[in-house]
């Protein structure tokens, strides 16, 4: 499938194209993959099964193939994928989370999500380590758009329940020399076109071994030099996803700020 044609069709179906300009590309809901990026999820089950797999961590209890359902996009009538995997019911994160088959170091990512119901909970994990929270009704270090437990977003930019939202992320992996950690991971995040995190460092993995790579290593502080996939979290809620794409970049000697 041609991602540009597919996303153009989505836009004609009624997407609101809210963007701002920045050096890497535009940001916001409806942004098509930039040059060199790969569309990983267009809202169809076909693309889900092609590009994603369950993360089989210590709490994994789902069964292949991925059970995240394809549903109707309540805004456009198109397709979306819901995080409501039955194995994740009751907030059992790690039981049915999905992660890209391809693993990454530095990257530029775009993720669109829609929270259907009050209290809807999921999360976007960078390198299957560092969570950018998705949680309706909570604005705090564990709330919506936080770099979880570490950085509060600079402002509230949530479009609200039943509406599409977009994270645009530029991520720089931790740097190592001779196996020793020399530089923490860093990230810049735009939320619906507003810069909410600017080149912030990320200290550790939170949530223990069930949360992702290195979560059980020295209580999440023992980061290793392994690439990781983009992960989406299942916690038994109807959080919908579409238009997820990623571009590999090299940020050696560079900031993550969009310039």
What is the b/e burial string over 16-50, where b = at least 16 CB atoms within 10 angstroms of the residue's CB?
Answer: eebbeebebbbbbbbbbbeeebebbbbbbeebbee
Q: 135 with 152: CB under 8 angstroms?
A: no
Q: What is the pLDDT of residues 170-210, one digit of tens each?
A: 999 999 999 999 999 999 999 999 999 999 999 999 999 99
Is the pLDDT confidence value at 17 over 80? no
- Residue that the structure tokens 């600079």 belong to: 154
pTM of the model: 0.91
Q: What is the pLDDT of residues 61-95, one digit of tens each?
A: 999 999 999 999 999 999 999 999 999 999 999 99
Confidence of residue 223 (pLDDT cuts 50, 70, 90): very high
Mean pLDDT rounded to a whole number for the chain? 91
List, in order of start, the domains of the chain with CATH numbers. Answer: 3-248 (2.60.120.560)
Cis-peptide into 225, omega within 30 deg? no
């Amino acid at each position: 499938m041609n991602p540009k044609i597919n996303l153009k069709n989505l836009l004609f179906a009624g997407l609101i194209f809210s963007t701002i300009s920045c050096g890497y590309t535009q940001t916001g809901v409806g942004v098509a993959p930039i040059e060199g990026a790969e569309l990983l999820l267009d809202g169809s089950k076909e693309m889900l099964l092609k590009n994603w797999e369950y993360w089989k961590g210590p709490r994994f209890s789902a069964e292949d193939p991925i059970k995240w359902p394809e549903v109707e996009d309540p805004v456009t009538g198109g397709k979306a994928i819901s995080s409501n995997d039955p194995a994740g019911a009751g907030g059992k994160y790690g039981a049915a989370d999905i992660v890209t088959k391809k693993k990454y170091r530095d990257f530029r990512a775009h993720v669109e999500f829609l929270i259907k119901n009050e209290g809807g909970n999921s999360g976007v994990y960078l390198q299957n380590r560092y969570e950018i929270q998705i949680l309706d009704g909570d604005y705090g270090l564990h709330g919506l758009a936080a770099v979880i437990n570490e950085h509060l977003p600079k402002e509230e930019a949530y479009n609200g329940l039943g509406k599409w939202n977009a994270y645009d992320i530029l991520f720089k992996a931790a740097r190592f020399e001779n196996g020793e950690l020399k530089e923490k991971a860093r990230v810049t995040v735009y939320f619906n076109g507003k810069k909410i995190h600017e080149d912030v460092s990320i200290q550790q993995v939170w949530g223990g071994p069930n949360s992702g790579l290195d979560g059980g290593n020295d209580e999440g502080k023992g980061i290793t030099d392994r690439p990781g996939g983009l992960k989406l979290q299942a916690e038994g809620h109807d959080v919908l996803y579409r238009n997820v794409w990623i571009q590999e970049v090299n940020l050696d000697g560079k900031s993550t700020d969009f310039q």
